[in-house]
Amino acid sequence: MSNQKPPKKKKVVVTSDSKKKAAPSTARRSKPVEQTLSFGKQNYMWMGIGAACILLGLLLMTGGAMPSPDVWDDNIIYSTRRTALAPIVILIGLCIEIYAIFKKA
C-alpha cells in the first residue's frame, strides 16, 4: 500500500445570478383525444348472429355414424343435410360476419 492522500472534495461556488429559483418545466399538454370504439352495439349483435349461423352449420355437418360396422349406407354419410345445407349455412354466417365488420356504427 502506498501512502497516497485521498482526493480532495470539490467545492461548488454559487454565484449571485444562479441563486434565482428556476421555474419548473411544464409539459405541453394537448387536448385529450376522444377515442371511439370501432364497433357499435349493432356490429356486435350481427357478429353474434354470424357466429351462431357458423356454429349451426357445423352442428348440421356432424354425425354420420353407421348403426353397424358391417353395414355401409351412403345415405347417412352423403346426405343432403351434410353436403348442401350445412355448407350453405356456414357461408351465410361468414357473409353476416363480413357485413358486421364493414357496417358503419
Buried residues in 72-95 as b, exposed as e (16+ CB within 10 A): eeeeeeebeebeeebeebbeebee
Tens digit of each residue's pLDDT (9 = 90 or more) over 20-61 = 666 666 667 777 878 888 889 999 999 999 999 999 999 999
Tens digit of each residue's pLDDT (9 = 90 or more) over 76-100 = 888 999 999 999 999 999 999 999 9
CA distance 49 to 46: 5
Asked if residue 74 has pLDDT above 60, the reply is yes
Tens digit of each residue's pLDDT (9 = 90 or more) over 7-31 = 777 777 766 655 566 666 666 777 7
Model-wide pTM > 0.85: no
